[in-house]
A = this chain, B = another copy of it.
């Protein structure tokens, strides 16, 4: 960031259904591509975005965080941006921040939700685009017992779809399933909430893939932990579909610690896989 630019932090929500994921790709509609196109047009300069969580195709967000540097900050008001954006992306907040804020590297944690309809009647029609239909009641208690064994710092190779360049060690800070009965339709869902310092590729969908069979009593409660300990994709953890997954929130330290956190994260990510 040069002296003549301002760093902005934005909170972004999107419906991932019609996007080929976050990351810009040639000839594909992506969230980054759409946002950069609109922001660059409004600002009259080329805008490049850095995000906290690079979501895959079909994954949604309510709390994605991005940063960008801009010379003419006055053109990027939240209402003006949203008038120019398509309906499946909204910028919920725009704040000026100091240059040591980095949406990706300053983040302390990311929180995702994964929603499953386990109602034998199937999902509420008005919610079905954002839930996985498993069609029979899940044993929440069994899933939570299995989930507890995954919390903490581990090598998540068994839960990473692609070979990571750096380490596959991640720390899960919280992992829990919640029973929800919709107050309007009366339909039941089970929602997985997971918070970690960071996630490797497809990790949340793999966590759901290990835990849902436990809730269906198709796998024993110790399967997810045993799979973790194998440290291998051969552990047989399925990757579940993308459409029930939402990036809910990203946590940052207070302003004075942004630079230090950045440095910490960059160092850890550069470690070779253990």
Binding site for B on A (CB under 8 A): 13-15, 60, 62, 78-79, 82, 85, 87-92, 120-126, 128, 130, 133, 184-187, 246, 248
Contact A128 B88 (CB under 8 A): yes
Residues of B near A126 (CB, < 8 A) are 13, 15, 60, 62, 130, 246
Supply 9 A–B pairs (Cβ within 8 Å), ascending by A. A13-B124, A13-B126, A15-B126, A60-B126, A78-B121, A82-B122, A88-B128, A90-B122, A91-B121
Give the shortest distance, in Å, between A93 (CB) and chain B (any CB).
Answer: 8
Number of chain copies forming the complex: 2
- The docked-state distance in angstroms from the alpha carbon of A79 to that of B136 is 10
7 smallest A-B Cβ distances: which pairs? Answer: A15-B125, A62-B185, A82-B122, A88-B125, A82-B121, A79-B120, A14-B125
- The docked-state distance in angstroms from the alpha carbon of A255 to that of B273 is 69
Contact B90 A121 (CB under 8 A): yes
Give the shortest distance, in Å, between A8 (CB) and chain B (any CB).
Answer: 15
- The docked-state distance in angstroms from the alpha carbon of A165 to that of B85 is 46
Contact A187 B92 (CB under 8 A): yes
Residues of B near A123 (CB, < 8 A) are 87, 90
Residue of B nearest to A185 (CB): B62
Contact B15 A185 (CB under 8 A): no
- The docked-state distance in angstroms from the alpha carbon of A133 to that of B133 is 30
A79-B120, A120-B79 are contacts. A184–B248 as well, Cβ < 8 Å?
Answer: yes
Residues of B near A79 (CB, < 8 A) are 120-121
